[in-house]
Amino acid sequence: MITPVLLCGGSGTRLWPLSRQSYPKQFARIIGGESLFQASARRFTGAGFANPVIITGDDFRFIVTEQLDACGISPACIMIEPEGRNTAPAALAAALFVAAHDPKALILLVPSDHSVADAELFRDAVTHGIVAAAKGQIVTFGITPTRPETGYGWLEAGAETHPGVFRLERFIEKPDRAQAETLFRDTRHLWNAGVFLARAATLIDAFRTHAPEIFHAVEPCLDGAHPDLRFTRIASEPWAKVPENSIDYAVMEKARNVSVVRFSGHWSDLGGWETVWQESPRDEAGNAQTGKATALNCENTLLRSESGEVELVGIGLKNVVAVAMRDAVMVADLSETQSVRQAVQTLRERGAAQAAQLPVDHRPWGWFETLVLEERFQVKRIHVTPGAALSLQSHMHRSEHWIIVAGTARVTVDGAEKLLTENQSVYIPVGAVHRIENPGKVPVVLIEVQTGAYLGEDDIVRHEDLYARQA
């Protein structure tokens, strides 16, 4: 059995404004009807695969459980990193966790934000690597290139060592255009997918040999790990001392027991808007349109409206990407989309909330979005999933009015409990201890009107919480 390890703690900005720190691209629906994370988890289920180990950040833990539940996948463990330290410490933490149960177990390290058109074909490639991995090799997977790509790292494959498995001669950093053209013409060269198959003990030994500073820093973090609801929290104090590094730099480029399996199916890391345009269905003029988007006399253009309230119209555009959301719009030449990170950094320096925060804020009980925010009042739409409940809480600086617009809610105010249905409302005075729950089988939707001198999310005193949140 192979244990998939899904790495999903990143907060990428290259697909801003759709991907943000509060809800990064792996959890978004970019291509198809499910998120990249869900597709990655589903790709490695079924015969030959054990339940996955997930490594993510504290802010994403409930998004992970919600999305796994939605596709019927039960994780073996969801490990919470106290803070992101890049892929090397996360990979070692997973290997140590799996090795504690079975050092000979095979693990498959998988980024959770890749798009693979044929999941069965990729599983077949993984199967090709099993024999080599069982004999102590670290097997990576190289994508047969379709173009001289400068946005990916490359691999150079050597002689065949097992059926379908080749010695890895070297890793190649992201090339310039001239080097990419040269690599593309040589069939030994492949794109680096960043996926690795090995025995847990083999990976641990590789870290012990090539990155001892990471090995000795991560090991006590697992010794101090503790359960929290459905999660396993890595010990935060020793984790703060763990060096930050990628698994490629820390281990793979130094190890001599690395092999590569060629994958000739369709693959993409969706690393930027130009790549999303390449992967999207396009009309005869090369235009990709998503949501309420209209292209008139356009050519090779990506138009995406991510809001049901925004009509996005492009006229006479060529080689342009335009992404419209309720709170932000990004327009760029397709050749300049790698500069989106720089734009996000500029917004962050200006203190713009849009740099990191989506207008919809996901919580373990559902989500909310701010409809209006002015001095001394705020209007929110709140969606509570069936069986969920907000914390029992109070506020020091604001009062609230709740108006139920869908479903049936159980509301508690200072110990008094009652059911409210559509078109009914309740007033929550400043300082009152209150909670709303959804005891039904359909979502509860309410409009919340806050009034007061301070309306920040940190004006919450939690008296009881089903999800053990501390803030």
Tell me if 354 is assigned to some domain: no
Same domain, 154 and 289: no
Tens digits of residue pLDDT in 398-454 = 999 999 999 999 999 999 999 999 999 999 999 999 999 999 999 999 999 999 999
Same domain, 225 and 332: no
For residue 344, give its domain range: 273-349
Same domain, 215 and 71: yes
Give the domain CATH number at 226. 3.90.550.10
The DSSP result for 283-306, as a single string, is -TTS-EEESSEEEES-BS-EEEE-
Same domain, 66 and 149: yes
pLDDT given for residue 25 in this prediction: 93
Position 423: which residue type? N
Of the residues 303, 320, 349, the one at which a domain ends: 349
Same domain, 248 and 131: yes
Q: What's this model's pTM, rounded to 2 decimal places?
A: 0.89
Same domain, 325 and 396: no
Same domain, 8 and 149: yes
Same domain, 293 and 399: no
Query: Quick check: 468 pLDDT over 70?
Result: yes
Tens digits of residue pLDDT in 306-343 = 998 899 999 999 999 999 999 999 999 999 998 999 99
- 61-70 vs 36-43: helix axis angle to the nearest 10? 60
360 backbone dihedrals φ, ψ, rounded to 5°: -95, 125
Tell me if 105 is assigned to some domain: yes
Tens digits of residue pLDDT in 352-408 = 999 999 989 999 999 999 999 999 999 999 999 999 999 999 999 999 999 999 999
Confidence band for 60, pLDDT divided at 50, 70 and 90: very high
Strands of 104-239 (E only): list them.
Answer: 106-111, 115-116, 138-143, 154-162, 165-172, 189-199, 226-228, 231-233
Tell me if 470 is assigned to some domain: no
Of the residues 349, 380, 412, the one at which a domain ends: 349
Same domain, 367 and 455: yes
Query: Quick check: 257 pLDDT over 90?
Result: yes
Tell me if 421 is assigned to some domain: yes
Confidence band for 150, pLDDT divided at 50, 70 and 90: confident
CA distance 186 to 31: 31
What mean pLDDT is predicted for residues 43-57?
94
Give the domain CATH number at 446. 2.60.120.10
Tell me if 355 is assigned to some domain: no
Query: Quick check: 471 pLDDT over 70?
Result: no
How many angstroms separate the Cα of 460 from the Cα of each of 228, 390, 413, 434, 456?
A: 22, 12, 15, 11, 9
Q: Which residue intervals of 304-370 are DSSP H helices?
A: 340-350
Position 163: which residue type? P
pLDDT given for residue 46 in this prediction: 87
CA distance 89 to 250: 9
The domain total for the chain is 3
Tell me if 406 is assigned to some domain: yes
Of the residues 268, 288, 318, the one at which a domain ends: 268
